[in-house]
């Protein structure tokens, strides 16, 4: 039937149109407002610190033509000294540029933290949005299927027991989260899964892992280790650098593309399992694949920032109230609102208690909790999707 119409040129054109299909005006103000928050928050972040400058100076440093005019420098920032340097050499780009003091501070110290916040916010938001559709539960978050507890346990094990592996902490945290998710899936599987069984298995695995995690805390004999563990398990952007940008960026792009491509599947999943099945969806396969995309996004966020709470839970809500529940729009909205919330929260985390920096997860919790309460009061039915 429809396969017959699969001509190459026609399908290519159709694919391009497919990306734009289903957009309406409600998304535009969301994108504009979120971008404004990111830009403003980012400027505040790069202006203030031990070396303070005015917002105009900071702005000029961000847009410094010495950086933007030298692709070799950008390559080194985004691809790392090794690969970026090789690319620059290949194209004959110079990387030996005399930069202004402000530019150096902004570009090497402060800007990467803003970029990491953007990536983490986007990842957590799309991850939460996907999990809310997969479990058909509005209260689902990126951490619903045991991810946070698995990652937390891996973090504690690395810091306290296998301290030789600390260099691999980000990867191990992401792996821990993924492992916990797989365990949850196996537990929930009984000739197939169901949203309820997945959530319950997530709670069970979460409880067990949480206990183990708390148990390991007991064996930490160094206050520094404990603080480091707390920063990781509550989520923090302190000390993030270009290395973290480079670590998260490729996975973020991959997860974003997959999430956008899967948005129609998510919409069909929202019609319920039976309908999805009678429309010919292989529900189990799609559910697992989409969960895997969500885990990928969550793991990318955990690897660079630890377990930042509430962002993945509330951002999809905020976007849903603004643009409706069509996932083709919801995912796009999340890609903007997530970074806005994360950049905003990190301003608070870094500057509110200056000179002490608090983990950004504490701020998102303080903002997210009351917002969630407000949602609960305003909406009659919160829960089922």
Binding site for other proteins (CB under 8 A): 1-2, 5-6, 10-11, 14-18, 21-22, 190-191, 261, 264-265, 267-268, 270-272, 274-275, 277-282, 324-326, 385
> Minimum CB separation from other proteins for residue 253, in Å?
17
Q: Which residues contact 239 (CB under 8 A, 6 or more apart)?
A: none
| 11 versus 211: smaller Cβ distance to other proteins | 11
Neighbour tally for 28: CB within 10 Å:
11
| 102 versus 326: smaller Cβ distance to other proteins | 326
> Minimum CB separation from other proteins for residue 294, in Å?
17
Q: From 381, 318, 338, 313, select the one nearest 132 (Cα to Cα).
A: 313
| 322 versus 358: smaller Cβ distance to other proteins | 322
> Minimum CB separation from other proteins for residue 30, in Å?
15
Q: From 161, 165, 44, select the one nearest 113 (Cα to Cα).
A: 44
Task: Tell me the two tokens of residue 353.
Answer: 């208690």
CA distance 84 to 81: 5
> Which residue carries 């346990």 as its tokens?
153
| 190 versus 377: smaller Cβ distance to other proteins | 190
> Minimum CB separation from other proteins for residue 293, in Å?
13
Q: From 78, 72, 199, 92, select the one nearest 135 (Cα to Cα).
A: 199
Task: Tell me the two tokens of residue 258.
Answer: 């997959």
| 175 versus 289: smaller Cβ distance to other proteins | 289
| 49 versus 324: smaller Cβ distance to other proteins | 324
CA distance 301 to 310: 13
> Minimum CB separation from other proteins for residue 86, in Å?
34
> Minimum CB separation from other proteins for residue 381, in Å?
10
Which residues on neighbouring strands pair with residue 384, listed in sequence order? 137
Q: Which residues contact 306 (CB under 8 A, 6 or more apart)?
A: 151, 155, 173, 231, 232, 233, 234, 235, 236, 359, 361
> Minimum CB separation from other proteins for residue 120, in Å?
27
| 249 versus 281: smaller Cβ distance to other proteins | 281
CA distance 264 to 243: 34
Count of residues making up the chain: 385
CA distance 258 to 128: 14
Q: Where are the beta strands (DSSP E) in 111-193?
A: none
Neighbour tally for 377: CB within 10 Å:
9
| 138 versus 346: smaller Cβ distance to other proteins | 138
> Minimum CB separation from other proteins for residue 323, in Å?
9
> Which residue carries 């069509």 as its tokens?
326
| 249 versus 322: smaller Cβ distance to other proteins | 322
> Minimum CB separation from other proteins for residue 296, in Å?
18
Are 316 and 336 in contact, with CB atoms under 8 Å apart?
no
DSSP state of 353: T
């Amino acid at each position: 039937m429809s396969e017959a119409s699969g001509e190459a040129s026609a399908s290519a054109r159709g694919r391009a149109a497919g990306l734009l299909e289903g957009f309406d005006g409600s998304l535009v103000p969301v994108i504009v407002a979120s971008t404004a928050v990111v830009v403003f928050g980012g400027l505040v972040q790069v202006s203030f610190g031990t070396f303070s400058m005015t917002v105009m100076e900071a702005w000029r440093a961000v847009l410094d033509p010495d950086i933007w005019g030298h692709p070799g420098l950008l390559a080194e920032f985004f691809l790392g000294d090794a690969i970026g340097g090789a690319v620059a050499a290949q194209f004959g780009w110079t990387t030996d540029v005399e930069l202004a003091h402000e530019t150096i501070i902004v570009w090497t110290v402060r800007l990467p933290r803003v970029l990491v916040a953007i990536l983490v916010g986007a990842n957590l938001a799309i991850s939460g949005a996907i999990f809310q559709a997969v479990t058909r539960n509005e209260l689902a978050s990126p951490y619903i299927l045991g991810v946070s507890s698995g990652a937390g346990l891996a973090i504690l094990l690395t810091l306290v027991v296998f301290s030789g592996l600390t260099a691999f902490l980000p990867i191990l945290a992401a792996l821990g989260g993924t492992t916990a998710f797989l365990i949850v899936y196996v537990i929930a599987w009984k000739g197939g899964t169901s949203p309820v069984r997945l959530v319950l298995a997530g709670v069970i695995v979460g409880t067990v892992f949480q206990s183990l995690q708390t148990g390991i805390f007991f064996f930490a004999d160094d206050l520094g280790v404990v603080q480091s563990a707390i920063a990781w398990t509550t989520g923090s952007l302190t000390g993030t650098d270009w290395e973290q940008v480079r670590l998260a960026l490729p996975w973020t792009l991959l997860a974003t593309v997959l999430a956008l491509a899967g948005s129609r599947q998510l919409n069909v999943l929202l019609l319920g399992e039976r309908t999805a099945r009678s429309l010919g969806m292989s529900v189990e396969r799609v559910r697992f694949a989409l969960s895997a995309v969500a885990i990928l996004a969550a793991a990318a966020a955990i690897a660079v920032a630890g377990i930042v709470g509430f962002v993945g839970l509330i951002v999809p809500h905020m976007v849903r109230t603004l643009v409706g529940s069509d996932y083709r729009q919801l995912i796009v909205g999340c890609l903007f609102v997530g970074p806005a919330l994360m950049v905003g929260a990190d301003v608070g985390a870094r500057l509110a208690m200056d000179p002490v920096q608090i983990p950004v997860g504490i701020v998102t919790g303080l903002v997210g909790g009351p917002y969630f309460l407000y949602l609960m009061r305003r909406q009659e039915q919160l829960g089922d999707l």
